[in-house]
């Protein structure tokens, strides 16, 4: 290969560096992405002595190039260029450089870490411009566990300094790494250092810093023994839950998790705090809290869980059902069904069912959808029958919603609903809907409807398909609208396998073959594609005597797309008849079909 005429020395560093310096950004970017190849051509020594200084010096480039460089350097062990990149302004570049540095740090021995890596972190931590200090925040935790205790003390000191940096950018970076850093610290230092930093950051003058401190709270709480939580963490958390900035309260609601604290604290502190968040004046906060209702209730101490939910949480939940903001309602709707398993059958029927029913009638389709998509939780507790009378109008309304995305969403729940409601209910009430979707104005709906039929057949069996679906589908083959005729073909593609050889050969194939005379070319080439698709299901006799002649005729069609797909199908069918086993392995032509159609 390379030996024949390859000659590494033909690529002097100048040429390679020229490439890295090309005027065209795209070419520069390409070269950087192949940095490993360049390094290979240069050899170790010259990479270190010539390429490395070049990379360290020329970091004044487009951020996109720098990003690629930062990523590439993660594969080398070259610290100096990464150090420069870690001081760049553009956040993505810097983050990538830090990521690469973190990766490289794992390859350092403890000695190397102290000799090479830790001084780099220190330099970054005491840099003039905020960017290097922000980068340093992400590097402390990777070197801390593996260095000597004196160095450890220095690292802690640096982190402390950065937590009270005078630029909010650095404080934000420190706050966002607080949890991670706490995890690698010895417990005593968590108590002595981290807690005071946490308290300070959580009462920072800028809400953007405070909310990051709240995020760290969860990981800090898991590190501390139960008895210390009350004194060390809770005061700060209490204060954050009542912060004047909705962003901080939102973060509290979003990260709300009582797993970390004990049952006592939960009862005395978290329940009231959670109630307040559910009643917050900002919809964002209420929505975040509503999302947590199920998780919160699940983790309440079991001995008086039911009582807490009934007296404290449920009243708030009832109010949220008629909230003015639809995001709040839909957040609640996505979890509320989960409460039924916690509260049991009687409470569900008495207290939750009215709420479910109210939400099923909500004006916002998303709320109704969220309820319907979680029906399985209720099904386990009280059975879906309790709901079915209210369910039906809700489903019908969603099925006919003006927004196609809503229609699409409800179609996706059909197989689930069908399974829970049973075949009779389905035939009686929902079958018409499923067939109506096949002639929807939006292709995505027709496509989803086809897929839905397939899943239904998988659930209810081929016999059911033969009696209820197949006649209707085949009937559409004579529709005056060519789009509907094509839908027949798409349905056949989807159903043939689930229906089996008998139905496919006897009922579907004749229709497909008849459609090969359609006047619309799109229908004809879809016939070719369908024949190719259902080929494996058919017996070889039908293939040879019926399918092949039709395909051969289509292969001489006047339309070039029809010809193309007919030929594709012929070669596929041929392959199949000669070599059955390898034909099975052929990948589906889905990608190709997407491209052409």
Partner 1 sequence: MSAISASEKVDGFTRKSMRKAQKQRKSQGSSQYRTQSAPVELSPLPQLKDAPSTEQQELFTKKLQQCCMLFDFLDSVMDLKSKEIKRATLNELVDYVSTNRGVLVESTYPEITNMICTNIFRTLPPSDNPDFDPEEDEPTLEASWPHVQLVYEFLLRFLENPDFQPSIAKRHIDQKFVLQLLELFDSEDPRERDFLKTILHRIYGKFLGLRAFIRKQINNIFLRFIYETEHFNGVAELLEILGSIINGFALPLKAEHKQFLMKVLIPLHTAKGLALFHAQAYCVVQFLEKDPTLTEPVIRGLLKFWPKTCSQKEVMFLGEIEEILDVIEPTQFKKIQEPLFKQISKCVANPHFQVAERALYFWNNEYILSLIEENIDKVLPIMFGSLYRISKEHWNPTIVALVYNVLKTLMEMNCTLFDELTSSYKADRQQEKKKEQERDELWKKLDELRLSNTNLFQNNSRGLPCVQNNNNNNNNNSNNDNQDKSAEAAAVATDNKGPEVKDPDVSVAASESTPCAK
Using rule CB under 8 A, residue 43 touches partner 1 = yes
Using rule CB under 8 A, residue 107 touches partner 1 = yes
Using rule CB under 8 A, residue 191 touches partner 1 = no
Torsion of CA 79, 84, 90, 92, to 10 degrees: 0
Using rule CB under 8 A, residue 442 touches partner 1 = yes
Using rule CB under 8 A, residue 591 touches partner 1 = no
The residue among 43 and 344 lying less far from partner 1, judged by its C-beta, is: 43
Q: How many of the chain's residues bind partner 1 (CB under 8 A)?
A: 70
DSSP string over 317-339: HHHHHT-S-HHHHHHHHHHHTTH
Of the listed pieces 206-214, 346-354, 476-484, 540-548, which binds partner 1 according to CB under 8 A?
Answer: 206-214
**3-state class of 247 per DSSP?**
helix
Give which of 401, 404, 399, 443 is closest to 417, Cα–Cα. 399
Residues ≥6 apart with Cβ < 8 Å to 485:
476, 477, 478, 479, 515, 518, 520, 523
CA distance to 220, 261, 275, 288, per residue, from 268 (Å): 20, 11, 12, 21
Using rule CB under 8 A, residue 280 touches partner 1 = yes
**CB of residue 218 vs partner 1: minimum separation in angstroms?**
22
CB 482 within 8 A of CB 520: yes
Using rule CB under 8 A, residue 585 touches partner 1 = no
Using rule CB under 8 A, residue 484 touches partner 1 = no
The residue among 157 and 206 lying less far from partner 1, judged by its C-beta, is: 206
Using rule CB under 8 A, residue 77 touches partner 1 = yes
First to last CA, the chain: 42
**CB of residue 79 vs partner 1: minimum separation in angstroms?**
10
Using rule CB under 8 A, residue 76 touches partner 1 = yes
CA distance to 363, 544, 573, 577, 580, per residue, from 585 (Å): 50, 21, 13, 14, 9
Residues ≥6 apart with Cβ < 8 Å to 11:
41, 42
Using rule CB under 8 A, residue 436 touches partner 1 = yes
Rounded CA separation 118/96 (Å): 19
**CB of residue 327 vs partner 1: minimum separation in angstroms?**
11
Using rule CB under 8 A, residue 537 touches partner 1 = no
Radius of gyration (Cα) for the chain, nearest Å?
33
Using rule CB under 8 A, residue 514 touches partner 1 = no
Using rule CB under 8 A, residue 110 touches partner 1 = no
Q: Which of the residues 115 through 144 are near partner 1 (CB under 8 A)? A: 129-130
Using rule CB under 8 A, residue 400 touches partner 1 = yes
Q: Which of the residues 143 through 172 are near partner 1 (CB under 8 A)? A: 167-169, 172
Give which of 7, 65, 71, 67 is closest to 31, Cα–Cα. 65
Contact residues for partner 1, defined by CB under 8 A: 1-11, 15, 19, 23, 27, 34, 36-48, 60-62, 75-78, 89-91, 107, 109, 112, 129-130, 167-169, 172, 205-208, 242, 244-247, 280-284, 400, 402-405, 436, 441-442
């Amino acid at each position: 290969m390379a030996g024949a005429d390859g000659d590494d020395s033909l690529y002097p560093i100048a040429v390679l560096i020229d490439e890295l310096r090309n005027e065209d950004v795209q070419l520069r970017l390409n070269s950087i992405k192949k940095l490993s190849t360049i390094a290979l051509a240069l050899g170790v020594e010259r990479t270190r002595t010539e390429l490395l200084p070049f990379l360290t010096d020329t970091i004044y480039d487009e951020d996109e190039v720098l990003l690629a460089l930062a990523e590439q350097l993660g594969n080398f062990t070259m610290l100096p260029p990464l150090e420069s990149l870690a001081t760049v302004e553009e956040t993505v570049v810097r983050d990538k450089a830090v990521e690469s540095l973190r990766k490289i740090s794992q390859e350092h021995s403890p000695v190397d870490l102290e000799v090479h890596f830790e001084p780099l972190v220190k330099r970054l931590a005491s840099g003039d411009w905020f960017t290097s200090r922000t980068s340093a925040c992400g590097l402390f935790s990777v070197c801390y566990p593996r260095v000597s205790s004196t160095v450890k003390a220095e690292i802690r000191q640096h982190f402390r300094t950065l937590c009270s940096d005078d630029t909010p950018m650095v404080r934000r970076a420190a706050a966002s790494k607080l949890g991670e850093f706490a995890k690698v610290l010895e417990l005593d230092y968590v108590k002595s250092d981290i807690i005071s930093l946490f308290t300070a950051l959580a009462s920072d003058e800028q809400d953007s810093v405070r909310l990051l401190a709240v995020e760290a709270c969860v990981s800090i709480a898991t590190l501390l023994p139960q008895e210390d939580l009350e004194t060390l963490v809770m005061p700060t958390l209490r204060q954050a839950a009542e912060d004047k900035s909705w962003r901080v309260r939102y973060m509290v609601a979003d990260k709300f998790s009582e797993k970390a604290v004990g049952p006592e604290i939960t009862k005395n502190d978290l329940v009231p705090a959670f109630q307040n968040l559910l009643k917050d004046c900002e919809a964002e906060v209420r929505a975040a809290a509503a999302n947590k209702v199920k998780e919160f209730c699940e983790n309440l101490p079991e001995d008086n869980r039911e009582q807490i939910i009934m007296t404290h949480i449920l009243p708030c939940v009832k109010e949220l059902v008629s909230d003015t903001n639809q995001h709040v309602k839909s957040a609640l709707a996505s979890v509320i069904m989960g409460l039924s398993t916690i509260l049991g059958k009687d409470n569900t029927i008495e207290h939750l069912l009215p709420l479910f029913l109210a939400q099923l009638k909500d004006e916002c389709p998303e709320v109704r959808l969220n309820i319907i998509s979680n029906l399985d939780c209720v099904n386990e507790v009280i059975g879906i029958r309790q709901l079915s009378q209210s369910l039906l109008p809700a489903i019908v309304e969603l099925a006919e919603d003006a927004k196609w995305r809503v229609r699409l969403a409800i179609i996706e729940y059909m197989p689930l609903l069908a399974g829970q409601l049973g075949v009779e209910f389905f035939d009686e009430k929902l079958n018409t809907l499923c067939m109506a979707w096949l002639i929807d104005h939006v292709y995505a709906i027709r496509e989803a409807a086809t897929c839905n039929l397939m899943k239904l057949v998988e659930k209810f069996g081929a016999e059911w398909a033969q009696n209820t679906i197949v006649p209707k589908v085949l009937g559409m083959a004579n529709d005056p609208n060519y789009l509907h005729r094509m839908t027949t073909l798409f349905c056949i593609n989807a159903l043939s396998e689930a229906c089996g050889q008998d139905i496919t050969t006897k009922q579907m194939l004749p229709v497909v073959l008849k459609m090969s005379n359609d006047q619309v070319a799109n229908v004809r080439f879809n016939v070719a594609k369908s024949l190719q698709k259902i080929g494996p299901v058919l017996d070889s006799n039908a293939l040879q005597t019926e399918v092949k002649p039709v395909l051969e005729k289509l292969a001489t069609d006047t339309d070039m797309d029809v010809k193309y797909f007919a030929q594709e199908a012929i070669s596929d069918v041929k392959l199949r008849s000669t070599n059955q086993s390898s034909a099975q392995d052929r990948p589906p032509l889905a990608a190709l079909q997407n491209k052409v159609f």
